[in-house]
Structure 1
Amino acid sequence: MTAATIAAAPTASARHLAGTPTLIRLALRRDRVLIPVWVVALVGTLSSTERSLEKLYDTAAERADVAHDMNANGSFRALYGAVYADSYGALTVWRVGATVALLAGLMSVLVVIRHTRDEEETGRQEALSAAMVGRRAPLTAALVGAALANLALLVLCTAVLRGAGQPTAGSLAFGTAVALTGMVFAGIAAVAAQLTENTRLARGIAVAALGVAFVLRAAGDAARPAADGGSHPLVWATPLGWAENVRPFAGDRWWALLPSAALAAGCAVLAYALAGRRDIGAGFIRPRPGPAHAPSSLAGVYGLAWRLHRGTLAAWAVGLAFGGAVFGGIADGAKDIVGDNDGTRDLVRRMGGHVDLTDAFLSTLIGLLGLICVVFAAGSILRLRDEETAARAEPLLANAVGRLRWAGGHLLAAYLGTAVVLTAGGLAMGLSYGITVGDVSGQLPRVLLATLAQTPAVWVMTGLAVLIVGALPRLTPAVWGLVGLVIALGWLGPALKLPQALLDVSPFAHLPKLPGADVTATPYAYLLTLAAILPIVGLTGLRHRDLD
C-alpha cells in the first residue's frame, strides 16, 4: 500500500508545473485581442511592403539601382540593415525585416512580463498559487503564450511571402528568423521577471536589451556595407543581427538561426532555474532601501510623479535623439534614393505633402518622430492606471491628496515630457541634417520647429488616453490599439492610398506638412481645443468613479 502510494505521488517537476494548462488558457483568453492585433499588424506591414515594392520597381535594373544606393548610404544601412540581393523578396526583407523582428521581440517582452512579474506584483499570482498551481506554471504559461504568438508570425509571414510568389525556402527562413528573434526576447524577459520585484523595472530591463540589440546592429551595418558579403562583428553580437544574417532570398543561411535558438533555450532554462529558487513576489535584485528622510523634492505629488517618470523620460529622450540623428543623416539623400522612379517620387510626395522631394522626405521623417512619441505619451498616462491597480495610489489618496492633484502629477509628466522628447529628437535631427547639407544655423531651427509642431497631435492622443483611463478604465488595453491605429494610418496609409476620410481619423493628418508648408492657426486651434477637452472629461470621470 505504501509502495503504491509512493509510486503514485507526483514527481517534483509535475508539482512545479501543476495547473499549467489552466494558466495557458487564462493567458490566451486575456491576450485574445492583444496578440492577434500585434500579429495582424506585423503581417499586414510585410504584405503591404511587398506589394508596394512590386509596383515601385518593376524592372530588374531599378531593383539593382535601389539595392546599390541603399548599401552605399551608411545611414540607411543603420536604419534598415544591409541589402544582400535585389529580388522582390530580398528588398522586402531589407525594408521591413529589421522592424518586424524588433516588434516581434517587443510583443514577446510585453506578453511574458504581463503573465509573470505583473501577476505577482498585483497579487493575483499569490491568489492563484493558493490553489493547485505549481511554482513554474506561470512562467510556462507565459512562454507558451509568447511561443504561440511567434508561431503565428512564422506561419503567416511565410504564407504571405509564398502567396506573393516568393520562393518557399526564403519565405520560411524569414518567418523562422522573426519567430526565433521573438523567442530570444521572450526568454530575456522571463529572466528579467525573476531578477526584480518591480514590473516596470523588469519590462525596462528587457526593452533595454532590445534597444541595445538594435543599436549594435545599426552601428555594425553603418560601419560596413554588404558589398563584400560579410558582416561587422557588432552585427554578430546581437539577435537582430543574427536574424539579418539568415539572409532570406539571398542564400538562406539556415545555420545563422542556431545562435537565436541556443540563446532562447538558454534564457528559458535560466529563468526556470531562478523561478525555483525564489519566493512569489520576490526577486534576486533586492530593492534599494530609501533614505531615512525623504528629500524635499518628494514633498508633494508632483515631485513623486517626477521621481516615477524621470527614468523613462530620459530613456525616451536619448532614444528619439538617436533616431533623429539617423533620420537627419539620410534626409539629404532623398533624390539619390528615389532616382528616376516615378512611382517612388509619387509615394514620397504623397507621404510628405510637398513637390520638392527633400522637403517631402524630411516632413515624412519628422512625422515619424511624432508618431513614435505617441507611444511615450500613452505609456506615461497608463502609469496612472498602474499606480491605481497596484494599490499604490490608495495610501496617497487616504491623506489630504485629492484625485485631481494625484492625477495632475502624472499628466504634467506626460504633457511636458512629450515636448522634451520631441525637442531632443528635433535637435538631433536638425543638427545631423544641417551638418550633412552644410547649413546648421539655417536647418537646425527649421527642423526643430517642424518637430515641435507635432506636439498638438501627440497631446490629442494623450488626452484620449486620459479619457479612457479616467472614465472608461475597463477599456485601458484599447489605448495601445488606438496608438497602433494612428501609427499605421500615418506610416502606411499614404503608401496604401487609403481614403482621406479614413486618414483623417488620425490627428496627425490635420497638421501642415512641415517644413515647407504654409502654416495657419486653424488646425492647431482645433487640435489644442480637443487636447484640452479630452482630459477634462477623463478627469471628471476619474473624480466620480470608484477606484480599483
Structure 2
Amino acid sequence: MSTLALSTAARARSSAYAGTGQLLALAWRRDRVLIPASILGLTALSVGSAKATLELYPDLDSAQQGLGSVLLNPAVQALYGPVVATSIDGLAVFKTVMLGAVFTAILGFVVTRRHTRSEEEEGRLELLGAGVVGRRAPLTAALLLALLAVLGAGALSTLGLLGLGMEPVGSLAFGSAWLTAGVSAIGLTALAAQLAATARGCGGLVLGALGIDFLLRAVGDTATSPAGQALGWLTPLGWAGRTEPYGANRFFTLGLGVALAAGATAIAYRLLATRDLGSGILPSRRGLAEASRVLRSPAALVGRLTRGSVLGWLVGVAVVAAVVGSLLASVTEMAADPAVRAMLERVGGAAGSIEDIFVSTELRFIAGAVTAAGVALVLRLAGAERGGAAEVVLATPTRRSSWYAAHVGAGFTLTAVLLAVVGTLIGAVGHRVTPQAPTVAEGLGAALALVPGVWVVVGAAAALFGLGARYAAWSWGVLLVGFLLGEVGRTMGLPEWVISLSPFAHTSHLPGGRFDLTPTLLLLSVAAALVGFGLLAYQRRDAA
C-alpha cells in the first residue's frame, strides 16, 4: 500500500473520533451529579456494611458463631454469592460483593445508554452530527465516561476498605469484582444500543441479560454437582462472585470481564458503521393502526408502557421477600449477640419478638428499593416531556391533569402492591420455617404501614417534575437523603431532629410495635399536598 493510501486511512480513522473530547466533557456536565452521587452511594454501601460487621464481630470466631447458620442457608448464597468464611474481612463484605457488583453493572448500563441510544432517540445526536463530530465519537465518549464511573466506584470502595484497616490484596480484589461486572455491562450496553432502535428496547436487552446472569449465577452458587457449579463461570456476575475477595483473590476474573467488554464493543463499532442514525439492527415491530379500547386512556397507556418494568420489580421483590422469610429460621441464633440485637432495634424498633424486629428492619430497607420503583415510574413524565411523547399525547383531547395523574397514580399503586407482595411472602415463607415468625396478616400489615412514608417521597418526585422536567432528577437525592436519615440515622448517631426530617422516621414499627394513626394521616396529607402542588405547577408552566 502506498504512503498516500496509508495517510488517507489514518486520517479517516482520526476523523471518525473527531470531537470525542468535547462530547466527553458535555456528557460529564450532564452527569456531574448522577455519577459522583452513585460512586459515593456505592462506597457508602461497601464501607458502611464492612464497618458495621467489624464492629459487631471483632474477630473471626465471634463472626462464625454469630453468622454460622446464616452462611449455610442456600437462599443467602443465592442472593449474595460465594461466602469467604475463612477471614473476618471476608465475612465483613460477603453481602456487598454481589450486591455492589449488580449496582455497578447498572451504573455502567445507565451511563452508557444515556449517552448513546437515549441521545439518539431524543434527536440530540443528530444535532451534534451537524458539527465536527466523527461517527464513532458519541459512542467512544459514552464508553469513556461509563468506564470512569465504574472505575471510580471500584477504586473509592477499595480505598474505603483499606481505610478500615482491611487486608490490602483482598481490598483490591473487592474493587476488581465490581469492575468485572461494571465493564461487562458497559460493553453489552454498547452492543445493545446498536441492536435496539429505542432506549427502552436497549434497556430490555441489557436488563434481561442481567437478570439471566443473576439467575445462572445463583443456580451455580447453590448447586452441589460440578456441572451445576460450572454455571457460575459462564456469566459476569458469576466471575465477580468467584473473585472471592479476602479468600482466593482471583484477579483473572477481571480479565474475563474486560475480554467480554472488548468483544462486545468491537461488534458495536462494526454495527455502528452499517446502520442509519436513529435505527437499530433488530427490526422494530409494527404497531396497530388504532389502539384497542382498553388503551384509550392515559392510565391504560401508562400501564401498557410500564408493564415490563412492573413485572421485573414484582419478580425482584418476590425473590428478596422469600430470602428474608427463609432467614427467620436463623434469626434467633443470629441475634444471640447483644450487639446484633441492639443494631436491629435501632432500625426496626424494640417492640415484639426478635423475629418481629428482624422483619421490621428488613421491610424498611426493602421499602427504600420499592420507593425507587415508584420514583422511576413518576419520572417517566420527565422522559416523555423531553423526548416529545408527551407533546404527541397532549395534542389529543388528553388533559395535562389526566396525563400527570396517570403516572403519579401508577407510582402510588405500584409501591403499595410491591409492599403488599413483600409483606405477604415474608409472612408465608417465614411461618413455614418457624412458628415464631409473623403471620401472613402481620407481615402484610407491617409492609402496608410503610406506604405513607414511601408515598411522600413519590409525591416529592411529582412536585419536582411539576416545577420543571430539569428538576425531576433531584428526586433521587430526596430518596437517598430520606432513606439514610430515616433508616440509618440512629445507627450513625444523628440527632433526633435531623432524623425526623425523613418521612420514613414517622412510619409505624410493625409487626410487634404499635400502629400510630396520627403520623400516618400526617404523612398521607403531606403526600397529597405534594402531588397537588406538582399538578398546579405543571399546569402553569411551559413544556420543556
- In structure 2, distance between residues paired with 1:311 and 1:257: 31
Moved more, 120-129 or 4-13: 4-13
The amino acid that maps onto 2:212 is V
Residue 159 (structure 2) aligns with: 159
- Contact 1:67 / 1:86 at 8 angstroms: preserved in 2? no
Residues 510-521 of structure 1: pairs in structure 2 closer than 5 A: 510-521=506-517
- Other-structure match for 1:334: 331
Superposed, 1:324-403 pairs within 5 Å as: 324-339=321-336, 341-355=337-351, 356-403=353-400
User: How far apart are the structure 2 equivalents of 1:91 and 1:209?
Assistant: 29
* Distance in 2, Cα, partners of 1:281 & 1:58: 57
Corresponding residue number in structure 1 for 2:537: 541
Distance in 1 separating the partners of 2:63 and 2:12:
59
- Post-superposition offset of 1:76: 2.1
Q: After TM superposition, list the pairs within 5 Å mapping 1:191-230 onto structure 2.
A: 191-224=191-224
| 2:527 partner letter | A
8 Å Cα contact 1:380-1:413 kept in structure 2: yes
Quote the offset at 1:396 in angstroms. Answer: 2.3
Distance in 2 (CA, whole Å) between partners of 1:419 and 1:51 is 33
Question: 2:461 is matched with which residue: 455, 459, 465?
Answer: 465
Measure, in 1, the Cα distance between the counterparts of 2:329 and 2:210.
Answer: 29
Contact 2:112–2:146 (CA<8 Å) still a contact in 1?
A: yes
Report 1:54-69 matches (<5 A). Answer: 54-66=54-66, 68-69=68-69
Q: Does 1:85 align with 2:82?
A: no
Cα 1:232–1:270 change in 2 (3 A) is same
Q: Could you say what secondary structure the match of 1:246 adopts?
A: coil
- Rounded to whole Å, the distance in 2 between the matches of 1:115 and 1:256 is 28
String of CA shifts for 1:136-171, please: whole Å, max 9, x gaps. Answer: 211111110011112222322222222222222111
Partners of 2:384 and 2:390 within 8 A in 1: yes
Distance in 1, Cα, partners of 2:360 & 2:303: 32
* Partner amino acid, structure 2, of 1:307: R
In structure 1, give the amino acid aligned to 2:451. T
Select which of 433, 436, 452 maps to 1:436. 433
Equivalent of 2:260, from 263, 278, 291? 263
Q: Determine if contact 2:97/2:177 at 8 Å carries over to the other structure.
A: no
Among 495, 501, 506, the residue aligned to 1:499: 495
Is the 8 Å Cα contact of residues 219 and 228 (structure 2) preserved in structure 1? no
Residue equivalent to 1:130: 130
> Which amino acid is 1:545 matched to?
R
Q: Is the CA contact (8 Å cut-off) linking 1:85 and 1:249 kept in structure 2? A: no
Report the more deviating stretch, 145-154 or 300-309.
300-309
CA drift at 1:231 = 8.6
Q: Kindly tell me: are residues 544 and 255 of structure 1, through their superposed partners in 2, closer, same or farther at Cα, counting changes over 3 Å?
A: same
Equivalent residue letter for 2:412: Y
Letter matched to residue 416 of structure 1: T
With the length of structure 2 as denominator, give the TM-score of the two structures: 0.94
Which residue is 1:479 aligned to? 475
What SS class does the counterpart of residue 514 from structure 1 fall into? coil
- Does structure 1 retain, via aligned residues, the 8 Å contact 2:334–2:340? no
Structure-1-length-normalised TM-score = 0.93
Structure 2: any 5+ residue segments left out of the alignment?
none
1:405 and 2:406 are equivalent in the alignment: no
**Higher mean C-alpha displacement, 107-116 vs 453-462:** 453-462
Displacement of 1:455 in angstroms is 1.4
**Structure 1 residues 289, 84: closer, same or farther in 2, change over 3 A?**
same
1:308 aligns with 2:308: no
Q: Deviations over 1:317-372 (max 9, x none)?
A: 22211211111111232112233x22112101211102532111011111122111
Q: Which residue of 2 aligns with 1:71?
A: 71
Could you tell me which of 447, 452, 475 is aligned with 2:448? 452
**Alignment-derived partner of residue 293 in structure 2:** 296
> What secondary structure sits across from 1:94 in the alignment?
coil
Runs of 4+ in 1 over 4 A off after TM superposition: 2-6
Match of 1:150 in 2: 150
Go from structure 1 to structure 2 and tell me whether the alpha carbon gap of 1:255 and 1:63 turns closer, same or farther (over 3 Å shift). Answer: same
Residues in 1 aligned to 2:358 and 2:486: alpha-carbon distance in whole angstroms: 14
Would the aligned equivalents of 1:322 and 1:425 in 2 still touch at CA under 8 Å?
A: no
Q: Provide the aligned length of Structure 1 versus Structure 2.
A: 542
Distance 1:523 1:332, change over 3 A: farther
Report Cα offsets for 1:499-518 as digits up to 9, x if no partner. Answer: 33332222111111111111
User: How far apart are 1:438 and its partner, in Å?
Assistant: 5.0
Alignment RMSD (CA, Å): 2.3
> Which stretch of the first structure deviates more once superposed, 197-206 or 523-532?
197-206
Structure 1 pair 186–455 and aligned structure 2 pair: CA distance change class (3 A):
same
Q: Which AA in structure 1 matches 2:397? A: A
Q: 1:104 aligns to what?
A: 104
Distance of 2:156 and 2:224 partners within structure 1:
32
Amino acid at match of 1:98: M
Corresponding residue of 1:418 = 415
Mean alpha-carbon deviation: is it higher for 233-242 or for 444-453? 233-242
Cα contact 1:43–1:157 (8 A) shared by 2:
yes
Partner of 1:24: 24
In the alignment, which of 240, 251, 269 is matched to residue 243 of structure 1? 240
Counterparts of 1:357 and 1:223, CA distance in 2: 31
Aligned counterparts of 2:300 and 2:278: Cα–Cα separation in 1 = 27
2:142 maps to a residue whose letter is: A
Amino acid at match of 1:443: T
CA distance in 1, matches of 2:495, 2:265: 45
Shift, 1:135, TM fit? 1.6
In terms of mean alpha carbon deviation, does 107-116 or 82-91 score higher? 82-91
Amino acid at match of 1:372: A
Does the residue aligned with 1:512 lie in a helix, a strand or coil? coil
2:395 maps to amino acid: A
In structure 2, C-alpha distance between the alignment counterparts of 1:291 and 1:368, rounded to whole Å: 42
Shift in Å, 1:249: 1.1
How many angstroms apart in 2 are the aligned matches of 1:491 and 1:112? 31
In structure 1, what is the Cα distance between the partners aligned to 2:172 and 2:228? Answer: 22
Residues 509-518 or 64-73, more deviating: 64-73
Amino acid at match of 1:61: D
Q: Cα–Cα, structure 1 residues 149 and 80, in superposed 2: closer, same or farther, change >3 Å? A: same
Given that 1:67 and 1:85 are in contact with CA atoms closer than 8 Å, whether structure 2 keeps it comes out as: no
Residue 37 in structure 1 maps to residue 37 in structure 2: yes
Paired residue type of 2:89 = G
CA distance in 2, matches of 1:8, 1:258: 34
Out of 108-117 and 169-178, give the one that drifted further: 169-178
Q: CA deviation at 1:52?
A: 1.8
Contact 1:70 1:77 in 2 (8 A): no
Q: Which amino acid aligns with 1:48?
A: G
Report the secondary structure of 1:273's partner residue.
helix
SS of 2:245 mapped into structure 1? coil
Q: Classify 1:528/1:491 alpha carbon distance in 2 versus 1 (closer, same or farther; 3 Å).
A: closer
Relative to 1, partners in 2 of residues 1:91 and 1:438: Cα closer, same or farther, differing over 3 Å?
Answer: same
445 and 199 in structure 1: CA distance in 2 versus 1, 3 angstrom threshold: same
